[in-house]
């Protein structure tokens, strides 16, 4: 483990202007593991004044960073990617304890992050500007040319969530940096240790002082201050729709890139390969206990095949390993905190009271909710519309594809959806009508591969992520028009 970021065995510092420092407030926030309720670390509760210093410092550093040649910026990113691979075991240990992610998923998150960072450097090097002649527009001669390049935006505020504390920090930091921005990283409190460790990696990789500063503290104390700070030029946020809406309402005139909640539907037609559908639905709904914005969060299935599909899904659920990842390999882990588990329980209870049929699961031990499947979920139940962010999946039976489309589109969310069918006409018919960012045909919803565009519509987000798209979002065109004097 990097000792530089620690004050003592459990207390972490924060990164400001290339130095790891403690907050002058003396206040710390305890991070409690969802696995055993033990304190895994304490992070600095920074004051508004300290946040202000951090942002001002990042602004100063950005002026220099902008002028560092892109190939040199890329070299730092390549080094950071290598270091993540070298330190993968550290990341696994930290994520396991801090956010309760099982070892296999933690490892794949760290390795995916290294690939993401490398690909970002490659993509930026391959991006070219353009020169646009004037005489293609009516009334203009060949005496002008617009030379278009890309400029950084300035200081990017990256706010990352607990569920991918490394990957969803890096997928904001790397595109921002390669585009020439400096970054203020404000991780979710639960996830801060992983994010601070990542910041140390970038520092070790040779990032100049101030180009990446970290801000830790309670969202309720410094959250609004960060997002409304006049020196923040761009906000890249992943988290709940509720917080996303708040950021968007108070951060007037700041460009935003947001990945928010989802209620991704898996639509299953009689023409589907039901084994493929069931396998994808099980891994899509229950991996990391459904704590993913792209988890399958409802099944819309035609009545004629519902019983068969449900049997297959049930069989898949029975094979899942459930428990504490400290004790071995598991698929379904305890939820991040008891408040989250309470919420999931509340949705289950309401569905049962209103007549949903429990197919499997339903029990809880502490924060661990067993993978649960409900059949006959009706549209008056909260489980049909709300996002549990837990391992609970409702089956809504429909009469045909049009009813499936109608219910899918009634959701306030529009992240992704899956269509399972072997009929290409039905696949395109449905995909064309779904109000979502991405439709997966015969696959579970998922963000990757990370160079694909990733976006949500309606309450699921603003803007488009994905490596090239994120670089474009965090830069702007700059046109220099050359006028030829004749």
Residues near ligand G3H (CB under 6 A) are 163-164, 259, 292-294, 446-448
**What DSSP character marks residue 382?**
G
Active-site residues: which are they? 259, 293
**Contact between 31 and 190 (Cβ < 8 Å):** yes
Q: Count the neighbouring beta carbons within 10 Å of the beta carbon of residue 303.
A: 12
Q: Record the tokens describing residue 145, joined without a space.
A: 């040319």
**Contact between 417 and 268 (Cβ < 8 Å):** no
* Cα separation, 444 vs 432, whole angstroms: 18
**What DSSP character marks residue 460?**
T
Q: Which is nearer to ligand G3H, 65 or 237 (CB)?
A: 237
Q: Record the tokens describing residue 113, joined without a space.
A: 């992050």
Rounded to the nearest 10 degrees, how much is the dihedral formed by the CA atoms of 18, 212, 119, 125?
Answer: -90
Contacts of 298 (CB under 8 A, 6+ apart): 263, 264, 265, 266, 377, 384, 393, 394, 395, 396
- What 3-state DSSP class applies to 152? strand
DSSP 162-228: SSSTTHHHHHHHHHHHHTT-EEEEEE-STTHHHHHHHHHHHHHTTPPTTSEEE--S-IIIIIHHHHH
- Return the half-sphere exposure (C-beta side, CA atoms, 13 A cut-off) of residue 323: 9
Q: Which is nearer to ligand G3H, 73 or 447 (CB)?
A: 447
| Tokens 């696949």 found at | 427
**Contact between 229 and 430 (Cβ < 8 Å):** no
**Number of helices followed by number of strands (H, E) in the chain:** 14, 26
Q: How near is the Cβ of 476 to ligand G3H at its closest, in Å?
A: 25
The angle subtended at Cα 132 by Cα 126 and Cα 138, nearest 5°, is 155
């Amino acid at each position: 483990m990097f000792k530089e970021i620690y004050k003592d065995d459990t207390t972490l510092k924060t990164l400001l202007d290339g130095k790891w420092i403690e907050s002058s407030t003396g206040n710390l926030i305890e991070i409690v593991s969802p696995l055993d309720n033990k304190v895994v670390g304490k992070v600095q509760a920074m004051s508004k004044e300290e946040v202000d210093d951090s942002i001002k410092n990042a602004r100063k550093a950005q002026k220099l960073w902008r002028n560092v040649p892109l190939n040199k910026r890329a070299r730092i990113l390549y080094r950071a990617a290598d270091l993540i691979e070298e330190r993968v075991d550290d990341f696994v240990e930290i994520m396991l304890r801090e956010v309760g992610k099982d070892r296999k998923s933690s490892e794949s998150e760290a390795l995916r992050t290294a690939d993401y960072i490398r690909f970002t450097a490659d993509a930026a090097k391959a991006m070219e500007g353009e020169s646009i002649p004037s005489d293609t527009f009516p009334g203009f001669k060949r005496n002008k040319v617009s030379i278009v390049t890309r400029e950084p935006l300035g200081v990017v505020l990256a706010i990352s969530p607990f569920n991918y504390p490394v990957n969803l920090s890096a997928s904001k930091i790397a595109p921002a940096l390669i585009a020439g921005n400096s970054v203020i990283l404000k991780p979710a409190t639960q996830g801060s240790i992983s994010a601070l460790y990542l910041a140390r990696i970038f520092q070790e990789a040779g990032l100049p002082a101030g180009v990446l500063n970290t801000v830790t503290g309670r969202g309720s104390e410094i959250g609004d201050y960060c997002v409304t700070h006049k020196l923040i030029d761009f906000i890249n946020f992943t988290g709940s729709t509720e917080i996303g809406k708040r950021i968007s309402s108070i951060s007037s005139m700041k460009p935003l890139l947001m990945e928010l909640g989802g209620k991704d539907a898996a639509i299953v037609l009689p023409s589907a390969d039901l084994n493929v559908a069931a396998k994808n639905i099980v891994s899509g709904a229950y991996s990391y206990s459904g704590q993913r914005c792209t988890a399958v969060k409802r099944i819309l299935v035609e009545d004629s095949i519902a019983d068969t599909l449900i049997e297959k899904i049930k069989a898949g659920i029975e094979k899942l390993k459930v428990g504490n990842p400290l004790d071995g390999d598991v698929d379904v882990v305890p939820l991040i905190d008891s408040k989250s588990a309470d919420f999931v329980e509340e949705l289950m209870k309401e569905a049962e009271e209103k007549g949903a049929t429990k197919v499997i699961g339903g029990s809880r031990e502490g924060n661990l909710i067993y993978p649960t499947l409900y059949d006959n979920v009706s549209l008056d139940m909260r489980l049909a519309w709300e996002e549990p962010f837990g391992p609970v999946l409702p089956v809504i039976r429909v009469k045909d594809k049009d009813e499936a489309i109608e219910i899918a589109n009634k959701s306030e969310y529009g992240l992704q959806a899956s269509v399972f069918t072997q009929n290409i006409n039905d696949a395109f018919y449905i995909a064309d009508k779904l109000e979502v960012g991405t439709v997966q045909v015969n696959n579970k919803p998922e963000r990757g591969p990370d160079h694909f565009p990733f976006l949500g519509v309606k309450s699921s987000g603003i803007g488009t992520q994905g490596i090239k798209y994120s670089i474009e979002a965090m830069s702007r065109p700059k046109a220099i028009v050359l006028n030829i004097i004749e």
